Every structure is written in structure tokens, then in C-alpha cells.
Amino acid sequence: MSTEDGLLPVVRMWTDGACKGNPGPGGWGAWLRAGEHERELFGGEAQTTNNRMELTAVIEGLRALNTRCAVTLHVDSSYVMNGMKSWLPGWKRNGWRTAAKKPVKNEDLWRALDEQVARHDVQWVWVKGHSGDEGNEHADALANRGVESLRD
């Protein structure tokens, strides 16, 4: 496993969510790479939303790391990216309420994501979905395997 400045293991991660109907059956996928090592994770839920699957993919990917890591995290979800880069601090300040004083949707997952992000040094990278990015395409395929796993 490579390390950043010899301190933290370096991990590149791509995550994606999929939903067949919104709400409907959904899946999530995460592809993790560290040096020569790689790991594929996926799962599904019978009744969910695309946003919940996008969040779950990131949570489960970060949760799979046993030690603090320097993570370059690639997501194609504007919802996840905006939440982490813009909205989360205000939600926490406002007692998990939006600027309009309404409860934050998917609060359970945002709290879990906040907890997982705190365990690592995360650099967020937004990628356009279905644009040929190898990691994003791989994570998308894993998310679809998550949906398919519900049929087994």
C-alpha cells in the first residue's frame, strides 16, 4: 500500500448508486484501489432512492478502511458533493435542519457519512457520470450488481 508522505495509506475510491425507479430497488458500489491492491464492494436495498444509494456507497467504502487513510474519493453525485462541500456544516449548526427549517432528508445517512469522513483525510473529486471515467464506470457496474443481487 502506498503512503502519502510516509504517514497515511493512500486510497483512491470511486462510488456510485443506482435505482430502478425512484423510489424502487436500488444498489450501491464502491471500488477501492491502494497501490497494487483493489477491492470491490456492492449491495442493494429493495425499496430506496438513488440519493440514499449514492450516500450508502460512500459510507460503505469508507467504512471498509480499517485504518486512517488519505482517500481521494471520486463521486458523480452532485447531491453528495454539495452536501459534503456546502450544506453539511449548516445542517449541523441548525440541528439537522435545512436553511428553510425543514428536517434534512436522509439525515441518518448524512450522520453516518460525517462520522466516516472524520476517520480519514478525504479529498473530494466530482466526475461526470457515464462519461468514460474508468473508475466511475466500474463503480456504476458494481452498483448495478447490487441491484441484481436483490434477485438472488
From the candidates 107, 108, 115, 130, give the one annotated as an active-site residue. Answer: 130
Known active-site residue 115: no
User: Which residues are within 8 A (CB) of 59 and not within 5 positions of it... i.e. 6 or more apart?
Assistant: 109, 112, 113, 116
Residue 107 annotated among the catalytic residues of the structure: no
Q: Which of 17, 26, 44, 146 is catalytic?
A: 17
- 74 belongs to the catalytic site: no
Tell me whether residue 44 is one of the annotated catalytic residues.
no
Query: For residues 17 and 56, what is the distance between their CA atoms, to the nearest angstrom?
Result: 8
* Active-site hit among 26, 54, 60, 135: 54
Query: For this structure, is 16 an active site residue?
Result: yes
In the set 61, 74, 140, 146, the catalytic residue is 140
Residue 139, exposed/middle/buried by CB under 10 A (0-12, 13-18, 19+)? buried
Which one is catalytic: 43, 44, 61, 76? 76
Half-sphere exposure of 113 (CA within 13 A, CB side): 24
Is there a catalytic annotation at residue 17?
yes
Which residues are catalytically annotated?
16-17, 54, 76, 130, 140
